[in-house]
């Protein structure tokens, strides 16, 4: 395990990213000297700079000289100039997963994992614990609306962390509680098969500490497989929005309302309703967010926060950035931004948007994220937009990948047969297309894990004149 001392200077490659910036924040709050580099500045890296981090725009050998260790993003290749320089100068280089256990060593760890729902569920758990006086430390994959940050070093004994499966990040954790929100095949650039991905989740569950608890959404077959194969000896608490018989915490009579959701929470024992908790209201829209809310309530409950306290606290949750986030209006046109990039997440957000706006034209702007994911999951993407009226498909956001011949935004648009689809091109061309074609009463949801939020900003500026 990495030995940490507050006298150390730690340099972070990719410091502005969703995975690395929370680590920088925790280190800063604990008194470390923190520097970091990224290709371009953003609001998160600028906030870190204001709080004492030295931020370098661009990457160079000089950035790491004087550091005691380097923590690198998974996106940086082995021949990255700062990694090479660090190793040449005998500066140890670690990945994100290597530093997590040392950061959390003095805490009980609540780790939230899953293909979708991680960020919202992690944020909800943090919010409920904070509202009920627990003051946890936390790392969230998005900026929380309630705190204005994605990480903090709290005074309590709990550490809530979003546990990312990519590059085996979650295998660096030693959790006391695991929340499994979902498992579906994703990241084909890293997991070469569904079986490989499932095996990594199984390894993660086996890291649960003695006496630990596994809180799992029973509505996903791959979650059920994990429980059947790997959870012997763990205290398992299942939850469900679909009345799964193995779920102790169940949502019934789900009601999607103007901008939020309500449901009746039942606690099931032996196949029968043991406790009818009653009506629960969450400020988040959609059945998927009902599931996320149950997961958070359950996690808070097993750590001593009674439902009678946590349920009222739900109402004050302000979500996290880029989760059905209202970006603005231009006349009667409403623009939202959402991080959805997996087919299931896209489908769930489309349904939630349709429930919120049943009588208005629903336009989805989809920026496909990575060539390998688009190619591998295209059949699921083609079926994901049925709740929408129009799908505008941008060019593919490559992220860390090279292009794949024959795979493009135009090709992806052609595969969408059940909803009218159009390939719009790059950021500027897409914004121009929306300005020229979106009807006055439309609702636009921009779905992207890349840079497509700029489309909404440019559309709003142009439409407002």
Between strands 69-72 and 9-13, the pairing is: parallel
Q: How far apart are the first and last CA of the chain?
A: 56
Residue 364 vs residues 53, 329, 336, 416: alpha-carbon distances, Å: 38, 16, 10, 12
82: annotated active-site residue: no
CB atoms near residue 397 (< 10 Å):
20
162: annotated active-site residue: yes
SS3 per-residue string spanning 332-372: CEEEEEECCCCHHHHHHHHHHHHHHCCCCCEEEEECCECHH
The span from the CA of 114 to the CA of 295, in Å, is 12
Q: Where are the beta strands (DSSP E) in 65-152?
A: 69-72, 93-95, 108-113, 137-139, 151-152
Q: Choosing from 73, 82, 131, 162, which is the catalytic residue?
A: 162
SS3 per-residue string spanning 92-105: CEEEHHHHHHHHCC
Q: Choosing from 73, 119, 394, 419, which is the catalytic residue?
A: 119
Q: Choosing from 33, 82, 118, 181, which is the catalytic residue?
A: 118
Contacts of 364 (CB under 8 A, 6+ apart): 346, 350, 385, 388, 390, 391, 392, 444, 445, 447
- Residue among 37, 73, 76 at smallest CA distance from 55: 37
Contacts of 114 (CB under 8 A, 6+ apart): 121, 179, 180, 181, 182, 183, 217
The span from the CA of 60 to the CA of 152, in Å, is 29
The span from the CA of 256 to the CA of 271, in Å, is 26
- Vertex 404, ends 400 and 405: CA angle to 5°? 155
62: annotated active-site residue: no
- The catalytic residue positions are 118-119, 162
């Amino acid at each position: 395990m990495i030995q940490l001392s507050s006298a150390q200077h730690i340099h972070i490659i990719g410091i502005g990213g969703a995975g690395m910036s929370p680590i920088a924040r925790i280190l800063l709050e604990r008194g470390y000297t923190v520097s970091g580099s990224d290709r371009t500045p953003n609001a998160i890296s600028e906030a870190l700079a204001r709080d004492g981090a030295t931020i370098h725009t661009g990457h160079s050998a000089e950035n790491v000289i004087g550091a005691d260790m380097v923590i690198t993003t998974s996106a940086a290749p082995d021949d990255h100039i700062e990694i090479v320089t660090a190793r040449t100068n005998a500066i140890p280089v670690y990945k994100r997963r290597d530093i997590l256990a040392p950061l959390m060593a003095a805490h009980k760890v609540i780790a939230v994992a899953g293909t979708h729902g991680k960020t919202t569920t992690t944020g909800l758990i943090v919010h409920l614990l904070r509202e009920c006086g627990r003051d946890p430390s936390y790392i969230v994959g998005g900026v929380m609306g309630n705190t204005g940050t994605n990480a903090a070093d709290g005074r309590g004994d709990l550490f809530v962390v979003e546990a990312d499966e990519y590059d085996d990040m979650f295998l660096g954790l030693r959790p006391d509680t695991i929340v499994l929100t979902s498992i579906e095949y994703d990241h084909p650039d890293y997991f070469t098969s569904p079986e490989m991905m499932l095996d990594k989740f199984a390894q993660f569950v086996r890291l649960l500490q003695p006496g630990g608890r596994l809180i799992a959404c029973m509505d996903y077959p791959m979650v059920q497989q994990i429980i059947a194969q790997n959870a012997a000896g763990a205290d398992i608490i299942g939850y469900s929005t679909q009345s799964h018989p193995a779920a102790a915490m169940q949502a019934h009579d789900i009601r999607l309302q103007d901008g939020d959701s309500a449901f009746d929470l039942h606690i099931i024992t032996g196949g029968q309703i043991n406790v009818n908790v009653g009506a629960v209201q969450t400020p988040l829209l959609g059945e998927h967010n009902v599931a996320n809310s149950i997961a958070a309530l359950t996690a808070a409950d097993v750590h001593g926060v009674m439902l009678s306290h946590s349920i009222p606290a739900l109402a004050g949750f302000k979500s996290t950035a880029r989760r059905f986030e209202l970006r603005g209006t231009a006349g009667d046109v409403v623009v939202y931004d959402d991080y959805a990039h997996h087919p299931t997440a896209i489908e769930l957000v489309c349904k939630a948007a349709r429930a919120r706006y049943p009588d208005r034209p629903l336009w989805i702007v989809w920026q496909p994220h990575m060539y390998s994911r688009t190619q591998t999951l295209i059949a699921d993407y083609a079926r994901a937009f049925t709740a929408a009226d129009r799908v505008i498909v941008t060019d593919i956001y490559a992220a860390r990948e090279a292009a794949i011949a024959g795979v493009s935004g135009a090709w992806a648009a052609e595969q969408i047969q059940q909803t009218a689809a159009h390939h719009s091109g790059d950021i500027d061309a897409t914004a121009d297309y929306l300005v020229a074609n979106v009807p006055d009463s439309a609702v636009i949801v921009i779905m992207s894990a890349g840079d497509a939020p700029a489309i909404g900003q440019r559309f709003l500026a142009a439409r407002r004149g």
